Amino acid sequence: MGNPSIEAAIKLEKKRADRKLKELDKETTNNPVVLFFINAARDSLAKEKERLEKAEKAFKALDLNKLKSCFGFNTFFATDVRRFGDGGIFVGNLRKPIEEVMPILEKKLSEAAGTEVALWFMEENTNGITKQVCMVQPKSEMDLEFESTTLNTPWGYVSAILLCVATFGTIALMSGFFLKPGATLDDYLSDVAPLFGGFLAILGVSEITTRVTAARYGVKLSPSFLVPSNWTGCLGVMNNYESLLSNKKALFDIPVARTASAYLTSLVLAVTAFLVDGSFNGGDNALYIRPQFFFNNPLLSFIEYVIGPYSDDLGNVLPYAVEGVGVPVDPLAFAGLLGMVVTSLNLLPIGRLEGGRIAQALFGRNIAALISFGTSFLLSIGGLSGSVLCLAWGLFATFFRGGEEIPAKDEITPLGDDRYSWGFVLALICFLTLCPNIGGTFSSSFLSPPFFRGGDL
């Protein structure tokens, strides 16, 4: 949805095709091989020119003078207009609630333009003055943009399945790192199955909640892509929005549905483990985690303090730790802890991560872009200072999930205090889980393994 007109781009490509055809017509040769390739190139250019001519008829810039007459005192009073792409931006002010104005204007503008149009209501700041604007674009161009980037294709589904299989493999692999030395296959199945099942429960509940919420707002989602990791088993779930968002509430609620449900499921797993075993130590099916995992950020340090058995009255830390093995932790409880860490990674306000989408809904695109840059910068410092996970996740989030979401159709209606409160609570949990390091993975040595993997106690 950039400023250059698609109609102008098509005309430019058509001129280039005409010029190349004229150049080929001037080519003369008696070599049959060269002549064959010239004719093949000429046929290809002729077909391309024909396609461009059809596209030129389909993508016509909207007549802004005709469109301006559709605005009025009863809907959106336009005081100025400027060209933007094949549509325009109308500056003015709303005279009625957006939910009343939107369908009326869409109908009027589509009839005046002779084609369906898409509308966005936004605010723009010029010289310190905030004004309301209505942006109008041909709907066919938005459909083309979504069609060109869609992941709802056979290849998209195959990729999603392959990543799902790879992630299940890394979860199973990661789970085996926490067994006692000399563990048998039976030990693996009895000890690791709860951890594996807990992780799948978190992923499944968050995915279902996300898709139900998106369906409620009429938002089409791409297939979900799991991100495998041999550090935590999985680094989260990614998907794209493949239709326009109706308002900022949709932009906020969909990522909140995923992250909040993942946090709640993680908490339920930890509480369930405590109720079943009477402690978080796991009994006979305990996994053994390096003690440093519980020392190095506020939330996990608080958990270590609250659950008690890891410290005695004299302050000796983790007396139940087995030398050379680790601290006994219930598999379900540890699945909940890892689930919180992974969810918090996706709540970082970067680009099109869930946290970046929430930041865009709360603060707008400009401020969200600054927050995204700052977070990426902090992750790069953490990575260069010693955290492999900081470095890897920072690179992934910046280069694969960077940028911003297409604006919601209604960016004027405020979210309300309740959603800002939700955003604050989620940001607080994210901060407590990840700061001052990524879930216990930060080490003093350069690019060392996470604390819950390998090494001496």
At 455 the pLDDT is: 47
Q: How confident is the model at residue 323 (pLDDT cuts 50, 70, 90)?
A: low
Pick the residue with more confidence: 276 or 253?
Answer: 253
Which residues constitute the domain of residue 249? 151-434
Residues 140 and 261 in one domain: no
425-444 mean pLDDT: 66
Residues 50 and 80 in one domain: no
Q: CA Rg, the chain, in Å?
A: 28
Collapsed DSSP state (helix, strand, coil) of residue 122: strand
At 392 the pLDDT is: 83
Q: Is residue 443 part of a domain?
A: no
Q: Is residue 251 part of a domain?
A: yes
Cα–Cα dist 298/439, whole Å? 9
At 304 the pLDDT is: 53
11-17 mean pLDDT: 75
Residue 314: is its pLDDT beyond 60? no
At 39 the pLDDT is: 80
Q: Is residue 229 part of a domain?
A: yes
Beta-carbon count within 10 A of 376 CB: 20
For the chain, helix (H) and strand (E) counts, in that order, are 14, 8
* Domain final residue, candidates 101, 127, 144: 144
Q: How confident is the model at residue 290 (pLDDT cuts 50, 70, 90)?
A: low
Q: Is residue 334 part of a domain?
A: yes
Q: Is residue 367 part of a domain?
A: yes
Residue 451: is its pLDDT beyond 50? no
* Domain final residue, candidates 38, 58, 78: 58
Q: How confident is the model at residue 440 (pLDDT cuts 50, 70, 90)?
A: very low
Residues 341 and 206 in one domain: yes
Domains identified in the chain, total number: 3
Cα–Cα dist 247/217, whole Å? 9
Cβ(285)–Cβ(194) under 8 Å?
Answer: yes
Residues 43 and 78 in one domain: no
Residue 297: is its pLDDT beyond 70? no
Residues 251 and 358 in one domain: yes
Residues 226 and 277 in one domain: yes
At 384 the pLDDT is: 81
Residue 286: is its pLDDT beyond 80? no
CA distances from 20 to 35, 53, 88 (A): 16, 16, 33
Query: Which pTM was predicted?
Result: 0.79
Pairing of strands 117-126, 129-138: antiparallel
Residues 252 and 126 in one domain: no
At 350 the pLDDT is: 93
Residues 341 and 246 in one domain: yes
Helix (H) or strand (E) holding 200: helix 185-216
Return mean pLDDT, the chain.
80
Residue 449: is its pLDDT beyond 50? no
Q: Is residue 447 part of a domain?
A: no
Residues 87 and 24 in one domain: no
According to DSSP H, which parts of 347-387 are helical?
354-363, 365-385
At 316 the pLDDT is: 43
